[in-house]
Amino acid sequence: VEEKSYFFKLSAYQDKLLALYENKPDFIGPDSRKNEVISFVKSGLKDLSISRTTFDWGVKVPGDEEHVMYVWVDALTNYITGVGFPDEGDKNWRYWPADVHIIGKDIIRFHAVYWPAFLMSAGIPVQKRVFAHGFLFNRGEKMSKSVGNVVDPFNLADQYGVDQLRYFFLREVPFGQDGNYNHEAIVARTNADLANDLGNLAQRSLSMIGKQYGGLLPEPGAFSDNDKAILAMADGMLEQARTAMATQQIHHALNAIWAVVAEANRYFAGEAPWALAKTDPARQKTVLYVTAEVVRQIAILAQPAMPDACAKLLDILGVSPDARDFAALATRIKGGTQLPAPAPVFPRYIDPPEAGAAKA
């Protein structure tokens, strides 16, 4: 079968693309996709057909309306027309070049080879980075209608909770790699990480403040070495999270946050504030204050993964809506703040009796 076509001289951009990858080693992520693209380009680039004549839907080729543009040509161009191009005076043009294109691994060539070449040909700066995520597998199998294992994400969200599901995938699956999921794994993360580790820590400490201090966050006394250690660990989360997120290592950001969750639980258990009420009330106040401060920092930093749940957690910590950004981490929670009655934020997942047929 033959068809007339216009071609983009992709072969002329092989050396320029290889120079781009060498001069900007972080241009493609993760490394597995970067190596794949470099190997493809080094093997030799052929000129790319960029028009079709066998159908008439699409963007017409200027000056030759028998041809329509190849869909990827006009699709990729949306990245710049969406911010005002060709009007470089548009107020949105300042957003180009894009910081990162987040795309599926199956379309990495279009974004890391063809698109930069198109931009170079037009004299437009290329995007700063391309990051390709992997695929999700249902119990180790690729989802397929023929196999019958396709799962509706809306049903999953209804079953487990949107925040719980988002947290599971972002923590469980290294972004950029393929990942596996199943009912048991989702429930394990939900109950262990969220209900037990973070939820139980918040509920126990805030309930104690509610019962013993009428919901008034205690003023702390002098910090002990243990207090200073857990606060310093919490203070270090922001930089670790930023470093991880800069290269789309979302799971590393959450790992850093949950390392503090684990340490905060050890701190709380070791200080045993429930026993301090009679033996050392002043010390109890400090322990409860420190725990509340650490939970506040955790809730602020976990917002990208669990916005709704973290908003509820910050509500019961008495944190105002305008004090929930990262800048708010520069100051401590204020002692003497009146806290609302605590309510569980992360309920345990319990299989309903008829759950067998609904499992992922």
The pLDDT value recorded for residue 265 is 99
Q: Is 333 exposed, middle or buried (0-12, 13-18, 19+ CB in 10 A)?
A: buried
In 10 A of CB 140, how many CB atoms?
8
What's 194-330's CATH class? mainly alpha
- Please determine, for residue 146, whether its predicted confidence score (pLDDT) is greater than 80: no
Cα dihedral 150→151→153→156 (10° resolution): -170
Q: Range(s) for CATH 1.10.730.10 in the chain? A: 194-330
- Continuous segment of H or E residues that includes residue 64: strand 64-69
Q: Range(s) for CATH 2.170.220.10 in the chain? A: 7-133
The pLDDT value recorded for residue 83 is 97
The whole-angstrom separation of Cα 212 and Cα 209 is 5
The whole-angstrom separation of Cα 188 and Cα 168 is 9
The first and second tokens of residue 309, run together, are 């749940």
User: What integer best gives the mean pLDDT of the chain?
Assistant: 95
Cα dihedral 334→335→340→346 (10° resolution): 70
Quickly state the pLDDT bin for 357 (edges 50, 70, 90): very low
C-alpha pair distances (Å), 92 with each of 125, 135, 206, 231: 15, 32, 45, 41
Report helix, strand or coil for 337.
Answer: coil
- Please determine, for residue 359, whether its predicted confidence score (pLDDT) is greater than 80: no
DSSP percent split of the chain into helix, strand, coil, nearest 5: 55, 10, 35
Q: What percent of the chain has pLDDT over 70?
A: 98
The pLDDT value recorded for residue 355 is 54
Averaged pLDDT for residues 127-142: 91
- In degrees and rounded to multiples of 5, residue 226 shows phi and psi of -65, -40
52 - beta bridge partners? 68
Averaged pLDDT for residues 151-155: 91
What's 7-133's CATH class? mainly beta
Averaged pLDDT for residues 308-314: 98
pLDDT digits (tens, 9 = 90+) for 30-72: 999 999 999 999 999 999 999 999 888 899 999 999 999 998 9
The pLDDT value recorded for residue 354 is 67
